Amino acid sequence: MPFLAGYAILYHMEALNSLEQWDDFVEGRYDPNRKTEDFRKYDDSAPSGVRDFYQLNHTNQTRDFVLEKKRQYASRGRTEMGIWEALEYLNTLVDDSDPDTDLSQIEHCLQTAEAIRRDGHPRWMVLAGLMHDLGKVLCLYGEPQWAVVGDTFPVGCAWSNKIVFPEFFAQNPDAKVPEYQTRNGVYEEGCGLDKVDLSWGHDEYLYHVTKDYLPMEALYMIRYHSFYPWHREGQYQHLMNDQDRAMLPWVQKFNPYDLYSKSAARPKVSDVKPFYEELIQEYFPARIAW
């Protein structure tokens, strides 16, 4: 049993000091001034917590795990909340080990949305900015960090070597399933990303919660904002369909607001809340299923 015992320890270890540690790593890694060939150098200097986090993520995100989480959460049977209520709920998640920032989760969401609003983008994009990380309430449901955040990637087909820390996939049980290790794996060429199962996390969860309410462009931003191997690295094009090709520029347009709005001015929640309550009402009923 020593192998199983080791696996259990790996499974339960919490790697990141805070969820923001992953956001900070991604912000640095995907800096537009950084060349792709320098990613490896950047990764090698990552704090051990970040490396441990990706090791857990890459080891445990199997196809079976992803399908099980979809069964568990896609039916949205857990609770009912309004959007602002969900923001306040997410706000109870306190990153008290991050000394660099005392911004609350709501303030982070508002910074992204306000930056998009300042640049004159459509109202649904402002709303997508406000909401895009709301799926992180998975943490409050008790899900481990490696099943909430992290760059996402398809399961059930070969992993791209452009995924961050690809060497950690050697420990993933799917590495021993030959069917999952071909270029297309269980998918058909050009089947479209909607048919492709990505590693489980806050992006996919929030997509299922919001899919009946938002325009397709906003849903792509929500569902694929952490899918860096696709929208940044140009991988998995053989699985795309025409709709994915049409939506990709919107996901790319959204990405800088996700990465770089943190340092912007601190929004005063009470000042902007009326605007956002009206915007939420434009697209959502008072409460939705989560």
Q: Give the footprint of Fe ion on this chain (CB under 5 A).
A: 133
Closest residue to Fe ion, based on beta-carbon distance: 133
Cβ–Cβ under 8 Å, residues 229 and 83: no
- Shortest distance in whole angstroms from residue 262 CB to Fe ion: 12
The distance of Cα 188 from the centroid of its chain, to the nearest Å, equals 24
Judged by beta carbon, residue 91 or residue 181, the one nearer Fe ion is 91
Judged by beta carbon, residue 22 or residue 159, the one nearer Fe ion is 22
- Shortest distance in whole angstroms from residue 150 CB to Fe ion: 10
Number of H helices, E strands in the chain: 13, 2
The strand pairing partners of 154, in sequence order, are: 198
Cβ–Cβ under 8 Å, residues 235 and 166: no
Token pair in block for residue 104: 């609350």
Judged by beta carbon, residue 134 or residue 155, the one nearer Fe ion is 134
**φ and ψ at residue 289, rounded to 5 degrees:** -85, 140
- Shortest distance in whole angstroms from residue 133 CB to Fe ion: 4
Residue among 130, 149, 118 at smallest CA distance from 264: 118
- Shortest distance in whole angstroms from residue 26 CB to Fe ion: 9
Task: Return d(Cα 197, Cα 26) in angstroms, integer.
Answer: 22
Amino acid at 155: V
- Shortest distance in whole angstroms from residue 134 CB to Fe ion: 9
Judged by beta carbon, residue 60 or residue 105, the one nearer Fe ion is 105
Judged by beta carbon, residue 23 or residue 244, the one nearer Fe ion is 23
Judged by beta carbon, residue 187 or residue 226, the one nearer Fe ion is 226
- Shortest distance in whole angstroms from residue 132 CB to Fe ion: 6
Task: Return d(Cα 70, Cα 169) in angstroms, integer.
Answer: 21
